[in-house]
């Protein structure tokens, strides 16, 4: 937990590297969400800086749609062996993204209805 918090502080205090860090972390967890500390930091980054993907021009290969970002976070939520703390990060990031991208509202609310009854979350 201390390493996750320290890494988040490092990223947040280095604006020049925020997108780079987030983009590299996203590429690491796209196919493998088993490294829970990395997933937690990535989820936090997507919640804080996910809109940076929208600011890229269309020719940039790193550009992602809000739905793609949400799907990564949903994949994190659906990972059965994931830690509860990791789900906290993913839910928090989804809610943050929903406020920035109203088009995600229905999709995120449907996902949240599944987790709304979970006593741990």
pLDDT digits (tens, 9 = 90+) for 19-52: 999 999 999 999 999 999 999 999 999 999 999 9
pTM score above 0.85: yes
Name the most confidently modeled range: 59-63, 65-69, 115-119: 65-69
Determine the average pLDDT of the residues in 81-106.
Answer: 94
Cα 101 from Cα 67, distance rounded (Å): 9
Cα 56 from Cα 89, distance rounded (Å): 25
């Amino acid at each position: 937990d201390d390493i996750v918090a320290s890494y988040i502080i490092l990223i947040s205090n280095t604006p020049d590297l925020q997108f780079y860090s987030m983009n590299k972390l996203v590429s690491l967890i796209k196919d493998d969400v088993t490294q829970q500390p990395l997933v937690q930091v990535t989820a936090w980054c997507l919640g804080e800086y996910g809109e940076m993907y929208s600011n890229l021009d269309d020719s940039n290969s790193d550009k992602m749609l809000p739905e793609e970002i949400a799907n990564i976070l949903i994949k994190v939520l659906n990972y059965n062996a994931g830690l509860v703390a990791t789900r906290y990060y993913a839910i928090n990031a989804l809610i943050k993204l929903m406020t920035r991208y109203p088009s995600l509202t229905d999709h995120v609310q449907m996902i949240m209805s599944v987790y709304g009854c979970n006593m741990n979350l």
